[in-house]
Structure 1
């Protein structure tokens, strides 16, 4: 198989960079003017033809210009992409921290930040966390016979859970319930609690206890998927095509498919491109997502093949740093 020369690599990067920005084929004259002034247009045309023969460029229509193929995007990601610099991380970190700090639902806000900053559809796929140890359960009255449950574990804080209270609870009911429920749950793993390993004495508060166990069972099983910014995909010209829209909607509606696409065989960042990865005319970039040093799932971005890979990978890399910092902060406050 013919290897890419340095000039072909430069040319391929120019074509992909341009197409990511414009969604339009680029002419040899524009390549010379904007990227390779030291190379003649005749040579550029010849090299473009060579890249097409090698499968890196394709013509969508007979009269159309050449555009990158899935193979080109894969090579771009694997070999041509610029390294993430400390300056890039710092700039995105300032924007991300302002959005995440002070927000209780870290996971949901993280997905929103990623979508807002990248302008693509983002997703979070959570894993089961049945080995987490429950440290404390707090109940906060919200009025109207409901209470907020805050579950503190050795891996962070599980929040934003609301349960129902028995009608007409007397003053001191929640304090008593907290004492009994903590006596039953504190120091045990989510798995053992969800499996029914508890101590006697919770009968009076069984209605609350059962709701909290149901919440813990949900965390133990994992599998939750959060999607944000699904409508943003329609801003890209590729999705004027009805078949591309159908393909996108099919992918984001399948939890199992999203789990499969975000798995990365232990690597920090995973990039899946095109039909051979099961996402025709799309790409999915994902990263492991951790809190307090414990992986709880994967966060990702789904968009057109001409996605701005550099920016997306920088954002996901930065989010990893922010989630660690957020988890440590909440551990200290808990």
Structure 2
């Protein structure tokens, strides 16, 4: 835990660096914020913050910038997020009134509003069923000791897996097993199927377990249609001036890799969305190298209908965290 003076100093350094994108010198802290101490005292305190890993010296600059550890402390202990001003809220409500009842249009508009307000990338997923439902399953004989399990989900998605049999089963026997399992489980979610705790013969149990594994894997990897806005504005930030860094980030933010950059499926997972539950992933906390100059602020949204989605913004680690958190929290609430 930092002393009160060091907390105040770290807050000043973060706020000033976010504002200017320039390393912060001790003299600038004294001049801009009018602290009742000398530059020498500030230098000593900044040296302690640097020793403890909260700020770093980039190259040979005389100033300091926050480290990922410093940003994390700022977000957890120093930031004071507030709701957007009433006028902004009124404007947003008016914009969303135009998209009432259209979930995909709402998600697209939400991404555009966030990008316009924050000048960061925003990604919003349209609400979708957080838990898949089994529509039907089929068993197809491949040869004596192998059958193909085909499951169809309510989202009309088809998944399949081969099963090894302990003994040969005819197509008629496989069809009978499938019909019995469909009579029990069609229209149910993974949790509902598990809660039934039905006892099955060996091959029936094998089939049920395989179907549940396929459904759970699909849930873990899925999210609704994703709408991305604001990439052009964010790429103007000085952190992305290097072409290779920009290209790597753009590749990650493509649809095929998007969930690697932003944990959309996990944010819109099978747990009930809690209004205002906002998570920040800062710089090196991210497992993807191309994202380690970025921060992600993300929140789930949804309601009792079971439809859920995720609202997120991506910006440089030099992000205006209080604004980003307050806007994401407001939009997801």
TM, length-normalised to structure 2: 0.64
Match of 2:286 among 259, 273, 277: 277
Match of 2:12 among 11, 14, 17: 14
* Cα distance change on mapping 1:43 and 1:32 into 2, 3 Å: same
Superimposed CA distance per residue, residues 13-70 of structure 1 (whole angstroms, 9 cap, x where no aligned partner): 0000001111001221221122242121110011111111111111220245211111
> What displacement does 1:258 show?
3.8
Q: Distance in 1 between matches of 2:265 and 2:10?
A: 27
SS of corresponding position for 2:98: coil
Residue 79 (1) aligns with residue 91 (2): no
Partner residue, 2:67: 69
* Cα distance change on mapping 1:63 and 1:314 into 2, 3 Å: closer
SS of corresponding position for 1:24: coil
Residues 132 and 189 in structure 1, CA contact (< 8 A), matched pair in contact too: no
Total equivalences in the alignment: 239
Residue 307 (1) aligns with residue 319 (2): yes
Residues 81 and 325 in structure 2, CA contact (< 8 A), matched pair in contact too: no
* Cα distance change on mapping 1:227 and 1:190 into 2, 3 Å: farther
Q: Distance in 2 between matches of 1:294 and 1:106?
A: 17
Residues 125 and 309 in structure 2, CA contact (< 8 A), matched pair in contact too: yes
> What displacement does 1:131 show?
6.3
Residues 26 and 43 in structure 2, CA contact (< 8 A), matched pair in contact too: yes
> What displacement does 1:96 show?
1.1
Residues 290 and 297 in structure 1, CA contact (< 8 A), matched pair in contact too: yes
Partner residue, 1:93: 89
Map residues 199-210 of structure 1 onto 2, 5 A cutoff: none
Partner residue, 1:120: 120
* Cα distance change on mapping 1:94 and 1:50 into 2, 3 Å: same
Residues 18 and 26 in structure 1, CA contact (< 8 A), matched pair in contact too: yes
> What displacement does 1:95 show?
2.3
Residue 298 (1) aligns with residue 310 (2): yes
Superimposed CA distance per residue, residues 231-260 of structure 1 (whole angstroms, 9 cap, x where no aligned partner): 111221111122431332132121331452
Residues 288 and 295 in structure 1, CA contact (< 8 A), matched pair in contact too: no
**Unpaired runs of 5+ in structure 1?**
134-187, 192-220, 322-334
TM, length-normalised to structure 1: 0.63
Partner residue, 2:237: 236
Residues 125 and 264 in structure 2, CA contact (< 8 A), matched pair in contact too: no
Partner residue, 1:255: 258
**Unpaired runs of 5+ in structure 2?**
134-185, 190-221
SS of corresponding position for 1:116: helix
